[in-house]
Amino acid sequence: MSSTSDEQQSGIFALVSYIPDPLGSFLTELQQSLAGDPTPQPHITILPPRPLMLSLEDASLEVKRKLEGFTRFEVELGKVSLFPETNILYLEVTKGSGALQELHNVLNSGLLHHDERFEYSPHVTISGPLEDVASGRKQAQAACSSSEMRFRFTVSDVVFLWQQDRNEKKWERLWSQRLKDSELSDAANPHK
């Protein structure tokens, strides 16, 4: 195998959908206010990080092929919860969880399948690991409760992230694919 081919197949990738503003900015400020390790830009993970078993190009083509059948959908976030295994706070997905689960299941199959460490649970991470979980959770709940922010957004784009070296902290955004408009909105706007 050539060194170019080896380089193409190294690293890890993940699929996410970033949360648009103004909710995205609110969640960024919330993340920064909580003690704990820094967290990435607010997003919903669709495929958690996994080793790249195909070339980058082939993995991209496979993901894009599988995304063709999906339409945009609404997500609503609920209460602040905790992953006890990691002491990470997150917001539950109360609406759109089924659509996210289906998207994950379709993408985590065939050539892209990976046995994940944790069972897939749609959520938005709002803190890194916390030492004082009770205080962080109380602070996050208070911020969310007092906000007039609508904790609702549309999942319309899926972003392909890649790291060549698993020990790196920075993800490279390779591409983004827009999900189709729903058939209902296509019927309402025949010029699409």
Any idea where the domains of the chain sit in the sequence?
8-180
Query: Of 33, 12, 2, 59, whose CA–CA distance to 141 is shortest?
Result: 33
Q: Which tokens hold the place of 177?
A: 């694919």
DSSP 87: T
Residue 183 is predicted with a pLDDT of 64
Residue 177 is predicted with a pLDDT of 97
pLDDT along the chain (192 residues), means of 10: 44 96 96 81 96 93 96 97 94 97 97 94 93 94 95 97 84 95 54 36
Q: What is the edge-to-edge ordering of all strands in the sheet holding 43-51?
A: 43-51, 12-18, 157-163, 172-178
Q: Which residue has the tokens 């007039």?
A: 148
Residue 184 is predicted with a pLDDT of 52
Fold (CATH) for 8-180: Cyclic Phosphodiesterase; Chain: A, (3.90.1140)
Query: Of 154, 33, 180, whose CA–CA distance to 100 is shortest?
Result: 154
Q: Which tokens hold the place of 114?
A: 């990976």
Residue 166 is predicted with a pLDDT of 75
Query: Of 28, 45, 43, whose CA–CA distance to 149 is shortest?
Result: 28
End-to-end CA distance of the chain: 45
Distance CA 16, CA 103 (A): 11
Residue 65 is predicted with a pLDDT of 97
